Homo-oligomer: A and B are copies of this chain.
């Protein structure tokens, strides 16, 4: 394969949006640094974008830019393709074509990887090229490398991640400024931390894509995103977040994976975690991931999970790995999904109904005698025991909040109890439920 003259590796970048521009900046601005470390020049051979304005201000010679991404993939002089277009349309076509040609592909596209993983892995396997995606999870944090390489000798017992900066920013503003969700979202949009259409973020969908990739790497299990329970943050109120604080907890949108004896739990939902937990102190748009291994114990990574330069930093680390493999004539030195295909023993994903954890339940109760006894009765009938109850002061009018924390209970039982409680005539509004995580390692 061409593109490796002297000590130089040609790279083609598809998509010159925010992250693409960051990659161009690092490859041009830190080019001598990269040369000194990789021992070869990582040559930005072509950058493709359909919008000619995308190249403005980057100082790229016009011979290096094109509006035709396919021509970059087809160029025999370019062995490494960086896909930063995003989405599952043209990006998918280009990634598959590059892999089919045996090229090395670097991508930040978690949606594509999480939804089309088997097809992409099959193309990579057939083509024999490498596939890197450090930038797909956690921006600059070395999540993929740590799971694939650094913790290779560990059985992963659990993962707890704050993997969406938009949600964490919104929750931080609700927590510290007592804003409503709607106002906090608007502030996030004004500050550039939320998209005009924030659905994929606030629904937990983006976090679920990232969790699917982490579960695959940690457990050798290819997960369909449909198997991962997801609940977003738009129903959270400043009241719930402030009650949580009174009990010593913060509320975070967590991606959670846990190994049980014969299965893996994988779920994304707002979660109450103790104040003293490192993840409680992750504020604003920052991301963090706690990985618990049988040998390493608790390991936490913390950093910027999005943005031009942090994401580009991760892409460039993949480019260095790609170049090192090409220069040393090695391919697939580390398996794409961390496990050798033939040895992978996929663990099934546990049904959400089956998980066991503690719960925060807030009820809007009419201020009548006997409410608590009715509620406690329903919980007891479903085998759920209460660890703590706070009945908040009477309000002049309208329902009174009752906040309950439970001991460990099964999700199925809790959902049944909640449905029953919601139908009681003394309950004014849909109960609010927030799951709690507080094992030592959480």
Contact = CB atoms under 8 A, between A and B. Distances in A.
A348 B297 CA distance: 38
A312 B297 CA distance: 11
Given A281-B278, A317-B150, A299 B297 contact: no
Given A36-B340, A145-B150, A302-B300, A295 B309 contact: yes
Categorize the interface residue count of chain A: 35 or more
A154 interface: yes
B295 A299 contact: no
Interface in A46-95: none
Number of copies: 2
A162 interface: no
Interface string A293-326: 1111111111110010110111011011100110
Contacts of A344: 36
B340 A313 contact: no
A60 to B, nearest CB: 18
B335 A333 contact: no
Contacts of A338: 37
A276 to B, nearest CB: 8
A340 B151 CA distance: 26
B309 A39 contact: no
Given A35-B343, A37-B339, A278-B281, A297 B140 contact: yes
- Most chain-B CB neighbours within 10 Å: which of A38, A153, A303? A153
A328 B333 contact: yes
A243 to B, nearest CB: 23
Contacts of A151: 313, 317
B149 A317 contact: yes
A34 interface: yes
Contacts of A316: 152-153, 295
A299 B311 CA distance: 12
A302 B278 contact: yes
A78 B169 CA distance: 52
Contacts of A262: none
A245 B324 CA distance: 48
A386 to B, nearest CB: 31
A352 to B, nearest CB: 27
A134 interface: yes
A385 B378 CA distance: 67
Contacts of A343: 35-37, 39
A261 B42 CA distance: 26
Contacts of A33: 153, 155
Contacts of A281: 278, 281
A439 to B, nearest CB: 16
Interface string A398-427: 000000000000000000000000000000
Nearest to A298: B303
A30 interface: yes
Given A27-B153, A30-B153, A36-B343, 19 more contacts: A26-B295, A33-B155, A34-B153, A36-B339, A139-B296, A140-B295, A141-B299, A142-B145, A151-B317, A153-B319, A278-B281, A281-B281, A296-B313, A297-B310, A298-B304, A299-B302, A300-B300, A301-B302, A325-B333
Interface of A: 22, 26-27, 30, 33-39, 134, 139-142, 145-146, 149-155, 220, 278, 281, 293-304, 307, 309-310, 312-314, 316-317, 319-321, 324-325, 328-330, 333-335, 338-340, 343-345
A-B complex: 7 closest residue pairs judged by Cβ atoms:
A153-B316, A36-B343, A140-B296, A142-B150, A300-B302, A295-B313, A299-B303
